[in-house]
Amino acid sequence: MTETLLSISEVELFGNKMTDMTYKEKKGDPKRNFVRVQGFGFESNYYLMDAPIIMLLETDGKALPTNLPIDIKNSLPTDIKMWTCDKSDSSVRMDELAGTFEEILLELELGGNASSGRVSGGRVSGGRVSGGRVSGGRVSGGRVSGGKAD
């Protein structure tokens, strides 16, 4: 992991290529794969994800660098790979939800008599909230970063 002037905008994603999902490229497009992302590095910090997410990433990834801090290396599976992206690159993110149709479809989309509430897809960034929906009364794995209260 070499530091350069532009390293400030790099995001390192740690995960494994999905073997049961494929992306069909258009002619001339770069090779892309669906990857189950376990964690990411940004601005010299490492963040382990509460639950893995699936992202569409270019290339097959590469082996972890030998100078990766030992605490990060120990928190990842041994067969993990790394993808380096710029924070302004575009991708697709898919959250994995598992449960009954009542939990993962009806309660999230229709609300109402939620017996086991969830917060899903919410993001707070720079004073803007987007993509969030709340139903029921339980929040699990919530995280706020960079927030400020006046």
pLDDT at 148: 56
pLDDT at 143: 55
DSSP-based three-state secondary structure for 24: coil
C-alpha distances (whole Å) from 5 to each of 2, 16, 42, 87, 89 are 10, 29, 14, 14, 18
The position carrying tokens 């380096």 is 84
H or E stretch covering 72: helix 70-75
pTM score, whole prediction: 0.61
pLDDT at 35: 94
Parts of the chain with a pLDDT under 70: 1-8, 112-150
Query: Which neighbouring-strand residues pair with 88?
Result: none
pLDDT at 141: 53
pLDDT digits (tens, 9 = 90+) for 63-75: 888 887 888 778 7
pLDDT at 125: 46
pLDDT digits (tens, 9 = 90+) for 124-139: 545 555 455 554 444 4
pLDDT at 54: 93
